[in-house]
Amino acid sequence: MKFALFGNTFQAKKSVHIERLLTILQKHQAEVFICQDFYDFLTKEQHMNIHVAGTFNDNNFNADMVLSIGGDGTFLKAASRVGNRNIPILGINTGRLGFLADVSPEDMEDTFDDIYNHNYKIEDRSVLQVCCDGQELKGYPYGLNEIAILKRDSSSMIAIHASINGAPLTTYQADGLVIATPTGSTAYSLSIGGPIIVPHSNTIAITPVAPHSLNVRPIVINDDWEITLDVESRSHNFLIAIDGRSETCSEGTRLSIRKAPYQIKVVKRPNHIFFHTLRDKMMWGADGRG
């Protein structure tokens, strides 16, 4: 098998897991190509002796499977590089929580035994895309987790006029608005009071950030509906953050958010169950009393 490897360049202490991963892949006679900046980090900063089939820059790679070693942030970056190419991604978690990257370093050997025995499953995860009327986004306009509209300065809230399929929904007076996929429902959206959504439920959650009104609540809609947003701001601009990548937009820019025409394929162990992850990662239902 041919693998493309992405990693976290901020986890110097975790580089021992990379050595073990490469040893396991070598045992399986895998062909491994590694992202150039990650390769430079390992060889030049960590002074590791890495033997791989080659390196690649940007999106100039092809593979049977993409490997992301780090946390969910690393996985999201890998997903943005994969885009619409239908290459499945396996996330190895050396970060903290790990919803997308949920294979522990201790389970790597068993996981790759399963992969080579074709004993794994692939989950299709929906992606959001944003289009700007009047301004072209500099970055990648697709988000696996969420698209967030946020105030740019620390003083005043923004007004976000939201419509669904052309019909007015409401005006959010808030610090921002988070539009999340089911995958992203356990990320930023959850931290601001959004609902947990089971993957594959074909929905989108819209959740305000620090709304001025107490009677504004999160809402869940069909993922084949289009969301249109017009933003007013005293500073005449605002931030749009796509899976954590942010840039400034000018007031008067109309945003259209809809489901992207492709999905991201996520590799899961055969015994993976979403509700087990909720209980293990988030202490779902745990009784903290006494």
Which ranges constitute the DSSP H helices of 63-214? Answer: 72-82, 108-116, 188-191
Does residue 133 have an active-site annotation?
no
Q: Are residues 96 and 114 in the same domain?
A: yes
64 found inside a domain: yes
Residue 290: the pLDDT is 63
Residues 140 and 200 in one domain: yes
Tally of domains in the chain? 2
Q: What is the pLDDT of residues 115-128, one digit of tens each?
A: 999 999 999 999 99
Domain harbouring 206, CATH code: 2.60.200.30
For residue 146, what pLDDT is reported? Answer: 98
276 and 242 both lie in a single domain: no
pLDDT digits (tens, 9 = 90+) for 157-183: 999 999 999 999 999 999 999 999 999
The pLDDT of residue 85 is: 95
% the chain with pLDDT above 70: 98
Quote the pLDDT of residue 22: 95
Residues 138 and 228 in one domain: yes
Domain region containing 50: 2-120+269-282
pLDDT of residue 7: 93
Lowest mean pLDDT among 76-90, 127-141, 268-282: 268-282
The whole model's pTM is what?
Answer: 0.92
CATH number of residue 99's parent domain: 3.40.50.10330
Q: Are 76 and 144 in contact (CB under 8 A)?
A: yes
Q: How confident is the model at residue 88 (pLDDT cuts 50, 70, 90)?
A: very high
Kindly name the residue from 72, 102, 175, 243 that is annotated as catalytic: 72
Q: Write the Ramachandran bin of 173: left for phi over 0, alpha for psi from -120 to 50, otherwise beta.
A: beta
User: Do 278 and 256 sit in the same domain of this protein?
Assistant: no
Distance CA 145, CA 168 (A): 25
CA–CA separation, 19 and 22 (whole Å):
5
